Amino acid sequence: MQDEDLAVMMRALGHPVRLSILKIVAKSQQSCCCADVTQCLPLAQSTVSQHIKVLLEAGLIERRSEGTKNCYVVVAPKMQKLESAFGSLTRGLIS
């Protein structure tokens, strides 16, 4: 994986609100929409939507529209790739 792509994902994870959003999305077994996330956080809907966009653009979550809602899921393969890239980074750094 390219350093730039890795950096984009790291940056996406580099904000506590986005970590929270990821956890909320992951935890809710059935479809999790923007309103669901917003309800869990002390932030405006538009702010949450913006954070979601960052996660989307990093490829860490995916949108799928469901009626009038937009639901989000964590992209497991991407997370795994990230973890492995991160692993080889750290291995390279500390060996």
Residues that bind a copy of itself (CB under 8 A): 3-4, 6-8, 10-16, 19-20, 22-23, 26, 74, 76, 79-80, 82-83, 86-87, 89-90, 92-94
Residue 19: C-alpha distances to residues 38, 46, 69, 78, 94 (Å): 14, 17, 22, 15, 26
Scanning 22-30, 68-76, 77-85, 86-94 for contacts with DNA by CB under 7 A, the matching segment is 68-76
Task: Return the number of the residue (68 or 94) whose C-beta is nearest a copy of itself.
Answer: 94
Chain positions 13 to 52 lying near DNA, rule: CB under 7 A, are: 15, 17, 33-36, 42-47, 49-52
Residue 47 one-letter amino acid: T
Instruction: Give dist(CA 58, CA 11) in Å, integer.
Output: 9
Count the neighbouring beta carbons within 10 Å of the beta carbon of residue 5.
14
68 binds DNA (CB under 7 A): yes
Residue 94 contacts which entry, a copy of itself, DNA, none (Cβ below 5-8 A, type-dependent): a copy of itself
Judge whether 10 and 30 are in contact, CB under 8 Å. Answer: no
